[in-house]
Structures are given as C-alpha cells and as structure tokens.
C-alpha cells in the first residue's frame, strides 16, 4: 500500500501566500484562499510545500493504494494558478464553458490570472467540486 506523497504540513498558508513574489499572483492567491474557505466551509491547510487545500477525503483504490487527499485547493505557481478539484462535479463542463480563459490538465484547471476568468463561475466550480467530492466518497468533512 502506497500513501499519497502530498500530505498536510504545519506551514501557515497565510505566510506561504504572503511570500509569493509576484504581486498579481499573490493577490489572486489571497482571493482564492478566501473563496475556497467559503466554498468548502473548511480552513486553509498547506499540503506539501505549495498546495493550499480545503477539506480532505480518504480514498482507497482496488490496487490497495490509499490515503488522504485535498478536496479542493490551489497552488500559485510562477507560470499560472493551478486549481484542484474544480473539474470533477457533473456541473463542471457547463460552467467551464462560461469560465473564460483557462486550460485543463489531468484533474487540474490552470488559469494565468483571475482577471482572465469569471470569478463567480470559479466560485461555483469550487462549491460544486467540494460538494461532489464529499458526496462521492460518502465522507464527512475533516477539518
């Protein structure tokens, strides 16, 4: 059994975001932290060195791999904002069509800056993604 390599850390997410060098990326990260806290009802927690996460769930695959993972979250990377858990809800495809300039990866949504997207649509993606993850795995949120 192999656990998830990315795990919660004691690092303060506010301090992590305050140290983001690019002013626009830092301001976007501050807004995302507030948005995702509201969407999930969970406090921000650092996962690994660069992911700000909200809520957790436990997963177990048939292969035996299991662990805990972040329900929704983001990472303010130098090239873009990587957003996690926002593309999984059944409502996501219709919302993504209205979001604005973005790219999708394997389970991730990439946005250059929040000014490129409809922030209300992004907030709905966060709410729906969190709710879907909690419902899909039949867990109670772990704070």
Report helix, strand or coil for 26: helix
What domains can you pick out in the chain, each with its CATH number?
13-136 (3.90.1150.200)
pLDDT at 93: 95
Which tens digit of pLDDT belongs to each residue from 43-66? 999 999 999 999 988 777 788 888
Residues 29, 33, 35, 41: what is their CA dihedral angle, to the nearest 10 degrees? 170
pLDDT at 49: 94
Q: Which residues of 51-80 are buried (b: 16+ CB within 10 A; e: fewer)?
A: bbbbbbbeeeeeeeeebebbbbbbbbeeeb
Which tens digit of pLDDT belongs to each residue from 77-117? 999 999 999 999 999 999 999 999 999 988 899 999 999 99
pLDDT at 113: 96
Residue with tokens 């795990």: 7
Cβ pair 54, 46 in contact under 8 A:
no
What's the pLDDT band for 5 if we cut at 50, 70, 90?
Answer: low
């Amino acid at each position: 059994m192999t656990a998830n390599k990315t795990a919660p850390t004691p690092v303060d997410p506010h301090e992590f975001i305050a140290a983001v060098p690019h002013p626009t990326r830092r301001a976007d990260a501050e807004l995302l932290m507030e948005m995702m806290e509201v969407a999930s009802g969970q406090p921000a927690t650092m996962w690994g060195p660069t992911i700000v996460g909200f809520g957790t769930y436990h997963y177990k695959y048939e292969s035996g791999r299991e662990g805990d993972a972040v329900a929704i979250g983001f990472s303010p990377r130098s090239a873009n904002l990587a957003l996690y858990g926002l593309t999984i809800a059944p409502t996501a495809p219709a919302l993504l069509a209205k979001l604005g300039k973005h790219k999708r990866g394997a389970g991730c949504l990439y946005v250059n800056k929040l000014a490129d997207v409809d922030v209300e649509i992004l907030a709905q993606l966060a709410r729906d993604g969190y709710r879907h993850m909690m419902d899909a795995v039949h867990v109670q949120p772990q704070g």
